[in-house]
Each structure stands twice: as C-alpha cells, then as structure tokens.
Chain A
C-alpha cells in the first residue's frame, strides 16, 4: 500500500522555467491538498481539491496552478519558477480528518 506518492523528490530549476509536481494516492480519498513548507512558517496551503474535477485556492496560490484529472492524481504546476518558490512541497490526501502526506519534493529555484 503506497499511500501518497510524489515525484520528483528533488528538483533544481532556473528562474523562469516551468515544471509539474506529480501526486497520486491509492486510498480512494476524495480530498487532496498541496502545501509548501518554509522554515519558521509551518505548512501553508497552496491549493486543494475536495473531489475529482474541483479545485480551489488556498492561502498562497499565486504562481501555481493545479489539475485534478481523476480521483487518484492531483498535480501542481509552476509556470514560471521564481526564487521565492524555493521550498519543500507536500501533497496530502484525506477522507475525514486525518491527512496522509507524501514524502515531499525539495525544490530549489536559482
């Protein structure tokens, strides 16, 4: 049982490059989330998806887009990466109140 799987685990981008972070869960959860974690800031919600086909902005959505193509997968896209987007990104899913997290993607934008 894999739980929540994120790819890639590490990525270095140049300013202005684009990329997509992939996330998949095998727990049949309806809700999925993307967070970023920065030192001293805790986890901040970027986007969430309450169910397949729906997405909504979280606390810090600027510079990101998401796609929930099916129940399993929720991807996060950076169209034009900026150094301020250097962070650790976590995908999570939940059914009820307990959230399960992926292992994280460490992204550096230079």
Chain B
C-alpha cells in the first residue's frame, strides 16, 4: 500500500465549478500536511499547508481528519488557471530530517 494515496483523475470541470480532491495517508505518526501544485512539465510548488482546524486561502479550503487519516482540498469557482496536478504531501520528522512523502497527484482540467 502506498503511504499517500490520491485519485489520479483527471477531474474535468467547467469554469466556475466547485471541485474536491481527497487524499489518505497510512502512517498515523505523520506530523504535517500540505498540498502542492505542479503545472505540466514544471516543478512542484507549495499551495497551502493543512491544519487540523481546517484552513482557507481565497478559493481554496483544506481539511485534515487525523482520526480517518484523510486530507481534502476544495476549490471553489474554478478558473482555467487552476488546471494543474495537485500533490498531497505528508511530512514526518524521522532520522533527523523532515521526510516529505508525496502522493502521485490528482490532475485537474478546467475547461471554458
């Protein structure tokens, strides 16, 4: 079983739609959680951290459920520019360093 699992998609949605991505992680010792965004043929970049209380950044809302080991990302009012792959990332501090474990990513395609 992969340590971080995501639905690969693609999610094809029209502009203005609301879309949600889910992610599950297997190690209950995981300490921190993130969503990264990766554009086609580019490097991953941090989109937002995910906190237990849930957090929002503009049109993006992230949620964490530690009991279920589940992370979500909600995008409201989708824009064409949101088309990208969204990577769920889990961090564990182990062996003296921060070990970032990446999911394989969920692809989003927003169309006019």
Interface residues of A (CB under 8 A from B): 31, 33, 35, 40-45, 48, 50, 56, 90, 94, 96-99, 101-104
Contacts and interface: CB of A to CB of B under 8 A. Distances in A.
B59 interface: no
The SS class assigned to the B binding surface is strand
Interface stretch (B14-22, B68-76, B94-102): B94-102
Interface of B: 2, 4, 8, 32, 34, 41-46, 49, 87, 91, 95-100, 102-105
24 contacts: A40-B8, A42-B2, A42-B104, A42-B105, A43-B102, A45-B100, A48-B97, A50-B96, A56-B95, A90-B43, A90-B44, A94-B98, A96-B98, A97-B91, A97-B98, A98-B34, A99-B44, A99-B46, A101-B44, A101-B45, A102-B43, A103-B43, A104-B42, A104-B43
Contact of A103 (B4, B42, B95, B103): B42
B104 A41 contact: yes
Given A42-B105, A97-B34, A50 B97 contact: yes
B49 A42 contact: no
A31 B93 CA distance: 12
B43 A31 contact: no
A82 B102 CA distance: 24
Given A48-B99, A56-B95, A90-B43, 11 more contacts: A31-B97, A40-B8, A42-B4, A42-B102, A44-B102, A45-B99, A96-B98, A98-B34, A98-B46, A103-B42, A103-B43
